[in-house]
A = this chain, B = another copy of it.
Amino acid sequence: MQSENAAWDATTLEADVFDRNCPSRETLLDVTGRWGVLALVALDDGPQRFNALRRHVDGVSERMLSQTLQALERDGLVHREVLAAIPPKVEYSLTPLGEEVADRLRGLIELLEGKMPDVTAAQAAYDARRR
């Protein structure tokens, strides 16, 4: 366990998301954040412009999607390309690492979507026990 203020040294320490000081925890949060998961999996369908992506990720605000994409770009998971046009067009796509991450997130989402009948039954049983 490192001290609270210790800088994490990527060259000598193995990453461990269970250590609150490890930068991998911050990256995990970017990836699994409320909109990070959906943006990555949406981009797994192919490169998209901001507004198309925003329609895809139903319910996200312009500001939140913009912050999410910026964090994912900084982590090297999303590539932002400014296309020469008037007005300039900006297109977002996954990097190879972003694709690997998105594949794993898609597997998780497909599992959950398929199991929703079990989940809703568990929720109903839980709520009934507490009534």
Where the two chains meet, the residues of A that have a C-beta atom closer than 8 Å to any C-beta of B are 1, 10, 14-20, 23-24, 27-29, 31-34, 37-38, 42, 56-59, 73-76, 97, 100-101, 104-105, 107-109, 111-123, 126-127
Contacts and interface: CB of A to CB of B under 8 A. Distances in A.
B126 A74 contact: yes
Contacts of A76: 118-119, 121-123, 126
Given A74-B122, A76-B122, A123-B75, A28 B109 contact: yes
Q: Which of A23, A74, A114 has the most CB of B within 10 A?
A: A74
B104 A74 contact: no
B100 A104 contact: no
Contacts of A28: 37, 108-109, 112
